[in-house]
């Protein structure tokens, strides 16, 4: 190999390495099947899955101050106002501004107690869950950050929920459910096009009218993690 040909080979190799480095620095990758450069953005369309966990204010303690339920000064009610909750979810990003999502929120037990003259006459753990489908509207910001809001419908269910009655000795529990609206908002951050974390607030509307169908509203404050399968 002559010195001139060797020099040209070195220059060609350096140029190729430079182009490759610039492509990867711009967030791109090579698609071997098409033997061509394919750009990658932070908001590619695709299916995503994830899980979130946090604190759910379920407000069963709203029954503590209900006059029709606590009809005598010798009767007292004590109930939890919130519990731990977690939610697996799946969705599809149509573009950087819009997605559809569905999830299941598990509400851990809440203690509910009724006292007569200081003696417990009723004690039960109330369990619940919510199934929701929502539309997610997103606004991408700089450096991988974004904000979003969501609105949809929710099926809210409570197991072993106390019935509202003036007779504490005859209190029983039943299962009840409610279909209503849900909405929320949050902020997200993309570590990569595939890995996203977020912090959010979600409100599930129940049936706040005090009756035997009472299911309180739920406010869910959570941290989430999701993985997107870009297509």
Q: Which domain does 116 fall in, by range? A: 46-230
Q: Are residues 35 and 52 in the same domain?
A: no
Give the separation between CA 177 and CA 179, rounded to whole angstroms: 7
Q: Are residues 116 and 224 in the same domain?
A: yes
Q: Are residues 14 and 115 in the same domain?
A: no
Give the separation between CA 11 and CA 102, rounded to whole angstroms: 54
Q: Are residues 196 and 217 in the same domain?
A: yes
The closest of 202, 55, 60 to 132, measured between CA atoms, is 202
**What is the average pLDDT score of the chain?**
76
**What is the mean predicted confidence (pLDDT) over 144-163?**
90
Our count of domains for the chain comes to: 2
**Do 89 and 49 contact (CB within 8 A), yes or no?**
yes
Q: Are residues 159 and 92 in the same domain?
A: yes
The answer, as to whether pTM is greater than 0.95, is: no
**Do 91 and 202 contact (CB within 8 A), yes or no?**
no
Tens digits of per-residue pLDDT, 127-151?
Answer: 889 999 999 999 998 888 999 999 9
Q: Are residues 224 and 135 in the same domain?
A: yes
User: Which CATH number is 114's domain given?
Assistant: 2.40.160.20
Tens digits of per-residue pLDDT, 4-47?
Answer: 544 444 444 434 444 444 444 444 443 444 344 344 444 678 89
Q: Are residues 35 and 104 in the same domain?
A: no
Q: Are residues 77 and 163 in the same domain?
A: yes
Q: Are residues 193 and 170 in the same domain?
A: yes
Within a 10 A sphere around the Cβ of 163, how many other Cβ atoms?
15
Q: Are residues 31 and 126 in the same domain?
A: no
């Amino acid at each position: 190999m002559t010195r001139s040909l060797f020099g040209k080979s070195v220059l060609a190799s350096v140029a190729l390495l430079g182009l490759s480095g610039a492509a990867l620095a711009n967030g791109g990758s090579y698609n071997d099947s098409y033997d061509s450069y394919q750009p990658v953005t932070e908001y590619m369309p695709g299916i995503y899955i994830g899980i979130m966990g946090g604190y759910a204010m379920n407000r069963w303690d709203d029954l503590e101050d209900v006059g029709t339920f606590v009809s005598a000064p010798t009767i007292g009610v004590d109930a939890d106002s919130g519990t731990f909750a977690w939610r697996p979810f799946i969705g599809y990003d149509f573009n950087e501004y819009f997605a559809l999502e569905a999830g299941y929120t598990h509400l851990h037990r809440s203690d509910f107690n009724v006292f007569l003259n200081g003696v417990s006459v009723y004690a039960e753990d109330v369990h619940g869950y919510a199934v929701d489908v929502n539309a997610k509207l997103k606004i991408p910001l700089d450096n991988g950050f974004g904000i979003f809001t969501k609105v949809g419908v929710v099926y809210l269910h409570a197991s072993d929920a106390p019935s509202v009655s003036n007779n504490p000795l005859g209190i029983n529990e039943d299962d009840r459910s409610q279909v209503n609206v849900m909405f929320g908002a949050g902020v997200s951050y993309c570590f990569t096009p595939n890995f996203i974390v977020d912090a959010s607030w979600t409100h599930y509307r129940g049936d706040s009218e005090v009756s035997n169908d009472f299911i309180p509203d739920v406010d869910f404050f959570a941290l989430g993690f999701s993985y997107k399968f870009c297509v």
